[in-house]
Amino acid sequence: MENDFNIINFIIDKINLDLYSVVFVDEYYISESQHYSKQHFVHEFLIYGYDDIKEQLMAVGFDKRRNFTKLLFSYSEFRKAFEKGKDYCIDPGLQDRAIVLLGLYTHKNEYPFDISRFLLCLQNYTLSKIDSDQMFFWRFDEKKADCISFGISAYDAFIDYLEKILKCDCKGNYINFHFLYENKKAIHKRLEYIVNRYNIRNNLLDMTNEYGNIVKNVDVLRKLFMKVSIASGGDGIYLSDISKVSTCKDTIIRMIDIINLIKKYEKNLMNNICEQIETEFL
């Protein structure tokens, strides 16, 4: 970006156009961050408002206790954190997306939902089959499709990941388990949409409610990993040295057992859900 670029003016201009900014900054300079004056860590915040009188930005993100909540940043603090973020960004991809704009678009017509397409997506998920549309959307190289874990097979990737952590072959990151949790929540929401849209009161409703148990169990995994991170001397996101804490190893072994159970449970449930949707609608 140009040297005279003013991030505060940019954010304010976009908010006045009903656009919100997701901005990557160095949390070392953010007083509400747990990394403040401790560690250079480039991460994003969603900016949704401003107060020109108090010279403050209104944001959503993680505070110093790792709570996802509303935050206030002074103009000067945020400006410095943004500028320094360019110096300490270790992900070259962020150079192209240091700022992401979000806006609401009101559609005039109802979304053209297709139950057949939805069923196909569920079946592909259950079979761990990624289609060309998804490969294109996520910018994956189709030649490397065999290296991608998709759908139910993603559980195997998580097991492999935890086993590498046990061997100290890699450092763990809580974010991976948070994404897994959000994935299960999203699937559950989509099933609820089907049930509510068609006012279903049969086995599909029961199975949708049952899928809520998968969401709860993956939430347990997410929290266990965070506890391991803290117990190992980490910050709740990254693991530190687990070799010196036997309880950490025991917890990770327990997580592997839980993942194996969830994988079997979800695959059976998804097969039943797909069969029920096919019987109900096709």
Q: What is the pLDDT of residue 3?
A: 60
> Does pLDDT of 140 surpass 70?
no
Q: Give the Å distances, CA to CA, from 242 to 47, 172, 255.
A: 36, 10, 15
Query: CB under 8 Å, gap of 24 or more: what pairs does 157-161 form?
Result: 158/259, 159/256, 159/259, 159/260
- How far the first Cα of the chain sits from its last, in Å, is 53
Whole-number percent of the chain with pLDDT over 70: 86
CA distance 277 to 211: 15
Round the CA-based radius of gyration of the chain to a whole number and report it: 22
pLDDT of residue 152: 96
21 vs 229: which has the higher pLDDT: 21
Which residue, 162, 188, 170, 185, is CA-closest to 257?
162
pLDDT at 168: 79
Give the fold, CATH level 3, of 7-103.
Cathepsin B; Chain A (3.90.70)
User: Does pLDDT of 92 surpass 60?
Assistant: no
pLDDT score at 144: 61
Domain boundaries, the chain: 7-103, 115-281
Q: Which residue has the higher pLDDT, 33 or 249?
A: 33
The pLDDT, as a whole number, for residue 11 is 97
pLDDT of residue 241: 64
Candidate from 45-54, 98-107, 198-207 with smallest mean pLDDT: 98-107
pLDDT value for 143: 63
What does the alpha-carbon distance between residue 266 and residue 155 come to, in Å, rounded to a whole number? Answer: 10
Dihedral angle over CA of 145, 151, 154, 155, nearest 10: -150
Tell whether the model's pLDDT for residue 142 goes beyond 70.
no
Note the pLDDT tens digit of each residue in 22-34. Answer: 999 999 999 999 8
Beta strands in the chain (DSSP E): 19-26, 42-51, 56-62, 68-74, 99-103
pLDDT grade, residue 229 (50/70/90)?
A: confident
Please give the Cα distance from 195 to 116 (Å, whole number).
15
* Mean pLDDT of the region 111-133: 90
Question: 7-21, 39-53, 171-185: which has the minimum mean pLDDT?
Answer: 171-185
57-66, 140-149, 161-170: range with lowest mean pLDDT: 140-149
**pLDDT, position 12:** 97
The more confidently predicted of residues 83 and 237 is 83
Q: What is the DSSP string of 5-36?
A: --HHHHHHHHHTTTEEEEEEEEGGG-TTSTTT
- pLDDT, residue 37, reads 94
pLDDT the model gives residue 104: 82
At residue 93 the predicted structure's pLDDT band, cuts being 50, 70 and 90, is: low
Position with higher pLDDT, 108 vs 23: 23
Residue 141 has pLDDT above 60, yes or no: yes
Q: Give the number of residues written for the chain.
A: 282
Residue 4: per-residue pLDDT = 73
Q: What angle do CA 25, 28, 34 make, to 5 degrees?
A: 105
At 120 the pLDDT is 94
